[in-house]
Amino acid sequence: MKKTESSQPREGAMFIRNYIRPETPLRESERARLRIAKLFLNTASTSGFNAHDFSGVVEEELGINYPKGISGHFSHERFWTKADIADILSAITIWFHTTHKPGEFLKEVRRIFREEHLGYRIDDKGGVHFLVDEEFERTVAAAVAGLGAPRFAAALHALHEAMAHLGTTRQSGKGLIRGVFEAVESAFLAVIGDPKVNRLNGEVLDKHLKPLLLARYSGHGDAEDLADRFMDHFKAWVKSAHPFRHGTPLEQIHEAPLDLAIMSATQGIGYLRFLASLSAPA
């Protein structure tokens, strides 16, 4: 459904106002939190920035209790390292509007986001946004949650590596496609559990995945047709991503347009989630 103008993310608005729903999962980084905390403390001590006023605005705008230390004073390091990530992203906007040096602030926080490969960007008015969009982040987060089993550790690592190619430092459409392909391939190999198979292609999909589909949907009268249609789509995705797989030197592949790479990644992550829900044949 197309968003109305009023539902579009607004520049300069706090992240929590633009995006947050109760079920919205968010990516974060402990290293980025600590770096932001240190930047905040350095700013407060060197630029005349009133950190106490900032804390009050955070409480007023976000409806949370700003943490305090044993002495009863506001604990800024605890806030930046322990608060909910949605509150952190929204507090960055508050910080922007209360600092005396917004240009320097944007430069430094953007650098942290970039170097830590976070899936967000900051607009020129201090508003934080998803690098792609909310639905894409939901899809990624759901895939990460589904790959929690130890057998999917390699697939999860590959997915994280793929998402790093959306950052401004390493942004690469071919890297994104390649990483998601590796994640899907790894998950597929973990599911079928056949040591003689080490590649994902149409032939091994027919041999190993189709029996799983037929067993899973055996109660459906059109199970065979359903499985064939699924296989056709999956094999088409594999074929489209194959030029970017790990067997081809990355530098020898033409860069993929980012919008097409995101579309391919979205499809691949869907297959990844599906594979993570399957059990290997007995």
What are the tens digits of pLDDT across the range 100-133?
788 888 899 999 988 777 778 889 999 888 777 6
The gap from C-alpha 140 to its chain's centroid, in whole angstroms, comes to: 5
pLDDT at 78: 92
| Whole-number Å distance between alpha carbons of 3 and 87 | 25
Residues 68, 76 contacting (CB under 8 angstroms): no
| Predicted TM-score (pTM) of this structure | 0.61
Higher local confidence (pLDDT), 185 or 145: 185
Kindly tell me if the per-residue pLDDT of 282 is higher than 70: no
- Tokens 């508050």 correspond to what residue? 94
Which DSSP helix (H) or strand (E) runs through 33?
helix 30-46
Give the pLDDT of residue 49: 64
Instruction: Write the pLDDT tens digit of every residue in 25-77.
Output: 456 788 899 999 999 988 877 665 677 788 989 999 999 999 988 887 889 99
CB 174 within 8 A of CB 250: yes
**More confident: 14 or 151:** 151
What's the DSSP call for residue 68? B
C-alpha dist (Å) from residue 96 to 54, 57, 93, 109, 183? 10, 12, 5, 10, 37
In the predicted structure, residue 10 carries a pLDDT above the cut 80: no
To 5 degrees, how large is the angle CA 45–CA 48–CA 49?
A: 85
Query: Helix, strand, or coil here: 129?
Result: strand
Q: What is the pLDDT of residues 254-267, one digit of tens each?
A: 778 888 888 898 89
- Mean pLDDT of the 157-186 span: 83
Rounded Cα distance between 96 and 126, Å, is 6
Query: Rounded to whole angstroms, how far apart are CA atoms 184 and 188?
Result: 6
